[in-house]
């Protein structure tokens, strides 16, 4: 049975979380902490399977506590945060980079009409994250330091010319820090657009895109319907709308969820395959479930390049594993190698264009 530690300075928030988590017979709340320093000490003492972590706390905030826990006693940490302040969104994203595995909105009280849905999501995520393997962080590697990547030589079948005209990416749990690493490795003058579906808690999408726009050199925006695709621009699916393309323009859709998701990676990949065929690259990253697999297969069948993140570098290997097992993946790469591989593919395309 997963054992949970709740870290939050608000007695009300602690009580609400304890009630929600305690309502599930498969979860056990084993302790509480009123600030990050107490949280670090309690993790060492109680050794919980998962921690829920507030961000704004006295003495030591959630970011500092997460960083310390990932150094001293690596444990899956779910950030429980508000999304109404830009500074808190930025801190939440940096905390994911520091090693937290997921992000949720703070649950509302039982009198709210949203209580049941929020409570179910908290239970679902905490149970799922309790089984996630996390790695110890080194103290001298600060999350805000520039990520170092090494060039990787592509296999022979990927050295054949591809006229890459678009990159499409689907990610879920663990996606935000993975995207920072991948997008940060791409050249500032990349001649193609990048389209991304990132599953993220309601209320955080705009803040995540704004934060990412500050930490990488490419232009980052939330996609708008019918706008043209531009090079060196990253387009994120907006909250609760499918992201797709048609004739080199963004096409947003309110169609039904695909496999329970809207936006869905499968919808993005399918429209990219239809519009760009063999000139597309599809990348499936860390995340639970199998969203994106059917769409990635469409890109693969159209002759495009398909890449999956490897198990060792994933927070959750679900989506990449499903794509690999379905035979939809050309290449399985560690996270550090995906950005350089995309750069190689783009350079290959540019060289062919200049000839």
Residues with catalytic function: 172, 199, 291
Q: How far apart are CA 137 and CA 250, in angstroms?
A: 39
Bridge-based pairing of strands 3-7 and 50-53 is parallel
CA distances from residue 133 to 40, 48, 76, 115, 130 in whole angstroms, order as listed: 18, 13, 7, 30, 9
Closest CA to 200 of 192, 218, 186, 212: 212
Alpha helices (runs of H) in the chain, residue ranges in sequence order: 11-22, 36-46, 62-72, 86-98, 115-129, 175-184, 205-215, 265-276, 293-301, 318-325, 335-354
Which H or E element spans position 236? Answer: strand 233-236
**Concatenated DSSP letters of 109-122:** PTTSTTHHHHHHHH
Closest CA to 121 of 139, 109, 104: 104
Report the alpha-carbon angle 108-37-19, nearest 5. 30
CA torsion angle for 2, 8, 213, 150 (degrees, to 10)?
-50
| 161 burial level (CB within 10 Å; 0-12, 13-18, 19+) | exposed
CA distances from residue 64 to 56, 139, 201 in whole angstroms, order as listed: 11, 12, 22
Task: Count the Cβ atoms, other than its own, within 10 Å of residue 142.
Answer: 12
**Concatenated DSSP letters of 266-290:** HHHHHHHHHHHGGGEEEEE-S-SS-
CA 258 to chain centre: 18
Q: How far apart are CA 187 and CA 313, in angstroms?
A: 23
């Amino acid at each position: 049975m997963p054992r949970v530690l709740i870290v939050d300075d608000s007695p009300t928030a602690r009580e609400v979380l304890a009630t929600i988590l305690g309502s599930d017979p498969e979860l056990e709340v084993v302790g509480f902490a009123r600030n990050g320093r107490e949280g670090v000490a309690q993790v060492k003492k109680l050794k919980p399977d998962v921690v829920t972590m507030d961000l704004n706390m006295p003495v030591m905030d959630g970011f500092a506590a997460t960083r310390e826990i990932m150094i001293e006693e690596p444990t899956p940490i779910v950030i429980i945060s508000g999304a109404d302040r830009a500074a808190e969104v930025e801190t939440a994203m940096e905390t994911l980079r520091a090693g937290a595995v997921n992000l949720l909105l703070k649950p509302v009280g039982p009198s709210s009409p949203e209580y049941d849905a929020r409570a179910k999501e908290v239970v679902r995520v905490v149970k799922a994250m309790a089984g996630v393997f996390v790695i110890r962080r080194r103290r001298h590697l600060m999350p805000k330091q520039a990520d170092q990547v090494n060039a990787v030589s592509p296999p022979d079948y990927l050295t054949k010319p591809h006229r890459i005209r678009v990159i499409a990416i689907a990610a879920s749990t663990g996606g935000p820090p993975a995207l920072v690493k991948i997008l940060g490795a791409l050249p500032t003058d990349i001649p193609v657009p990048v389209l991304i579906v990132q599953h993220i808690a309601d209320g955080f999408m705009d803040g995540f895109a704004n934060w990412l726009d500050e930490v990488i050199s490419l232009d980052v925006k939330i996609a708008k319907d019918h706008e043209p695709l531009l090079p060196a621009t990253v387009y994120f699916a907006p909250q609760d709308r499918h992201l797709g393309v048609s004739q080199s323009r963004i096409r947003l859709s309110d169609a039904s969820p695909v496999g329970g998701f809207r936006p869905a990676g499968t919808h993005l990949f399918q429209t990219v395959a239809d519009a760009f065929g063999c000139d597309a690259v599809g990348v499936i990253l860390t995340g639970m479930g199998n969203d994106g697999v059917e769409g990635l297969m469409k890109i693969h069948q159209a002759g495009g390049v398909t890449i999956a993140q490897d198990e060792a570098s994933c927070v959750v290997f679900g989506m990449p594993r499903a794509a690999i097992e379905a035979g939809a993946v050309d290449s399985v790469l560690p996270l550090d190698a995906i950005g350089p591989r995309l750069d190689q593919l783009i350079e290959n395309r540019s060289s062919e264009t200049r000839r």
